[in-house]
Amino acid sequence: MNLHKVLLGALLLKSEFAPYVLPSLEIEHFPSDLQPVFAAVSGSWNATGRLDAVEICARYPEQKEAIIGCVAECESECIAITRDRVEEWTQLAREQAALARVQGIAVQIANSLTTFADLPDLYSQMGEALTLDREAQDFKPIGELVDNYVRKLDEKPRYIPTGLSVLDKHLHLSPGNLFIIGGRPSAGKTALSLQMACEQARKGYRVCYFSLETDPDTLTARIIANRLAVPLADVKAKSVPQSDLDDLAKLHKLPLFIRSASGKGVAWVKAQAQRMKAQVVFIDYLQLLATGKARDRYQQITSISIALHELAQTTGILVVALAQLNRNSAQSLPTVADLKESGQIEQDADAILLLANDVTTQNRPEKHYHCSLEKNKEGDLWTLPITFDKECQRFLEITSEFERR
């Protein structure tokens, strides 16, 4: 079957499906010999809001033979033309175009004239090629959006859990969200992210963990301490009883993938995540991601934040990024203003969770662990009853009560 001819023929034979697929198609999705036909079809649709093969042939007489050929090709397949089939063919056409573009970039990378300095831009182009969502897809008729809402009334919202019920009660993470976990050094950011990654993988989500600071073996030791509830020191000393190690068999089947990303940027992370078909991505930590040629550190972190937000939005991946806080007022409660080096992080995040060790407050003068939801687009802000067992690298719920902020 000639996919591209059949798709164009189907649109001419069943023009009622055009509003659902034409906005997501571009001329580069078609081979060069069919690009004039697509231009004629798309041009007619944009000009008149309808598709009529006779009318298009009259408007574009030089494409008459090719247009008739597309209709004949579709009819010869003897396939019932349905909306689902047309949308499937559209997706295949876009995937084939993306593959061809990636292959072209690969040839360019292999070219002897390519320099190391060219690689970040080529990585970015490859990431864009692998992103099948186009801006045009964001425009949908209001009627279709209302129909989708009504059709899904009986469906429960699909939130991605963190594994901590006191957090999940008010933090509703969805595909395409950007979630920031902020804290000063040794506050437990990595431990919490690893615990979340394991729990999400246990629920069946494909999780990719990119570490820019710590090697995978060290992270694995932390995961073992967390899952077995044994001291991290014992794991590092290899003194964990064999009976406890038997429980690690449960980790073997988890769709959790960890790799070092030192020196890499967002475009590279995006390409790797899409290659792995990730549903959740963890980045430890945001400020270590490589950047382009921004003049100062503020602009660099701003560009990283914007790129992470775009990664989440365009791929539908939940992005969980760890972020360092400024060291100022180390004993005071952290706020979003402490997010290091850029206010853009606060703007781009759908939710922000801040962690702190040994803080004191007016209500609790003794030193204690602090965990607070400082931004939450889907709900209220809370101080959460969670504590950090640093010895075993575990986060624990300590009460069922919340403190609304």
pLDDT at 115: 66
pLDDT at 135: 45
Q: What are the tens digits of pLDDT across the range 311-327?
A: 998 889 999 999 988 76
Cα–Cα distance, 293 to 240 (Å, whole number):
48
> Which of 269, 117, 258, 128 minimizes the C-alpha distance to 193?
258
- Lookup: tokens for 56: 């298009």
pLDDT at 46: 78
Question: pLDDT tier at 136 (50, 70, 90 boundaries)?
Answer: very low
Return the top range by mean pLDDT from 142-151, 259-268, 339-348: 259-268
Helix spans in 60-212 (H) = 64-76, 83-110, 119-130, 142-151, 165-168, 189-202
- The answer to which of 23-27, 29-33, 234-238, 400-404 has the lowest mean pLDDT is 400-404
pLDDT(295) > 80: no
- Lookup: tokens for 16: 């009622």
Cα–Cα distance, 271 to 285 (Å, whole number):
18
Cα–Cα distance, 65 to 348 (Å, whole number):
50
Helix-then-strand count for the chain, H and E: 16, 11
pLDDT at 271: 85
- The answer to which of 119-133, 217-231, 382-396 has the lowest mean pLDDT is 119-133
Burial tier of 249 (Cβ tally within 10 Å: 0-12, 13-18, 19+): exposed
Helix (H) or strand (E) holding 36: helix 35-48
Q: Which residue carries 């922000």 as its tokens?
A: 352
Residue 340's φ and ψ, nearest 5 degrees, are -70, 125
Cα–Cα distance, 186 to 184 (Å, whole number):
6
- pTM for the model: 0.65
pLDDT at 138: 55
Handedness of CA 286, 289, 293, 296 (dihedral sign): positive
Question: pLDDT tier at 145 (50, 70, 90 boundaries)?
Answer: confident
Mean pLDDT score, 173-187: 91
pLDDT(348) > 50: yes
Rg of the chain taking only CA atoms, in angstroms? 26
Domain layout of the chain by residue ranges: 3-149, 165-404
CATH class of the region 165-404: alpha beta
Pairing mode, if any, of strands 178-183 and 318-324?
parallel
Question: pLDDT tier at 308 (50, 70, 90 boundaries)?
Answer: very high
Q: Which CATH architecture has domain 3-149?
A: Orthogonal Bundle (1.10)
Share of the chain above pLDDT 90, in %: 31
For all residues of the chain together, what is the average pLDDT?
A: 84
Supply the DSSP symbol for 381.
-
pLDDT at 343: 75
Supply the DSSP symbol for 18.
H
Please state the three-class secondary structure of 235-284 as a single string: HHCCCCCHHHHHHHHHHCCCCEEEEECCCCEHHHHHHHHHHCCCCEEEEE
